Amino acid sequence: MEKFIKLAIDGNVAIITLNRPEKLNAWNTEMRNEIIAALKRFDQEAAIGAIVMTGAGDRAFCAGQDLEEAHGFDKTRVDEWMTEWENYYRTLRALKKPLVMALNGTAAGSAFQVALLGDIRVGHAGSRMGQPEINSGIPSVTGPWIMAPMLGLSRTIELTLTGRLMEAEEAHRLGLIHHLVPQAEVMSKSLAIARDLAGKPPVAMRLDKQRFYEITEPGFVDAIAAGRRIQGEAYATGEPARMMEEFFKKRGHSIAG
């Protein structure tokens, strides 16, 4: 039984809902493991032709990594942590079936990256996106790998170093959000797209997605290797822990980030 996500079937479309609205749907290791299991299950089910991922509530698709979990990390945890992310991202990348991201709100940090690993993204005016890790003292490695081919190096550098979140209109203009609709229509539009994709010839769909996997695999392998090295160096200095401690102190209590 899933603890942090909700699963549903709508015809030949599977729906995965990130379900920690009190934490802005921020994920921890257990939640990511539930998502991985659901993705693999739906990818194997013959009756499912496409998958939609969304978040519970109306504030955030996902706020990224739950800083309550990351706050206690040190250099000894980095290698295991990077393996967890490698498994998550590889599961998303290896899907044979199309994945539509219904962005009900903000997608920040690793959630921004996961949203970009989907095939089609639907959002509304409140669907902000960005890479704010630097503000928590965490260097970005997988983020630039995903962003650079989509945005070019100049915009990737700007977003990574400033840590700012793009408003939905900018993300739409840049092609990161494919469809910008009223908030109430995000899920219906996502389901319509998913149904259309589910009706495509399945072998061609699988082979197209396989080719995108092959094209981007060398960069992914490099990014994970760099992540182990760079995150190890960052956490060895203690900067991420200090920045996250300041984050919690400013707010007076622990919240997801």
Instruction: Note down pLDDT in tens along the chain; length 257 residues.
Output: 899 999 999 999 999 999 999 999 999 999 999 999 999 999 999 999 999 999 999 999 999 999 887 666 667 788 898 999 999 999 999 999 999 999 999 999 999 999 999 999 999 999 999 999 999 899 999 999 999 999 999 999 999 999 999 999 999 999 999 999 999 999 999 999 999 999 999 999 999 999 999 999 999 999 999 999 999 999 889 898 888 888 777 766 433 33
User: Using the 8-state DSSP alphabet, how is residue 122 labeled?
Assistant: E
83-93 burial, b at 16+ Cβ within 10 Å, e below that, comes to eebbebbebbe
The values of phi and psi at residue 245, to 5°, are -65, -40
The values of phi and psi at residue 126, to 5°, are -95, 10
Residue indicated by tokens 């993300």: 171
| 142 neighbors 131 (Cβ within 8 angstroms) | no
User: Using the 8-state DSSP alphabet, how is residue 132 labeled?
Assistant: G
pLDDT at 71: 64
- The dihedral region occupied by 252, where left means phi > 0, alpha psi between -120 and 50, and beta the remainder, is left
pLDDT at 245: 83
Whole-angstrom distance, CA of residue 20 vs CA of residue 105: 13
Reduce the DSSP state of residue 165 to 3 states and report it. strand
pLDDT at 76: 78
pLDDT at 78: 84
pLDDT at 254: 39
| 227 neighbors 85 (Cβ within 8 angstroms) | yes
Reduce the DSSP state of residue 117 to 3 states and report it. helix
pLDDT at 112: 98
Amino acid at 149: P
| 146 neighbors 129 (Cβ within 8 angstroms) | no
Whole-angstrom distance, CA of residue 135 vs CA of residue 242: 11
Sign of the torsion angle spanned by Cα atoms 16, 215, 141, 231: positive
Sign of the torsion angle spanned by Cα atoms 186, 190, 36, 161: negative
pLDDT at 255: 36
Helices then strands, each counted (H, E), the chain = 10, 10
pLDDT at 249: 78
pLDDT at 252: 63
pTM reported for the whole predicted model: 0.94
pLDDT at 62: 98
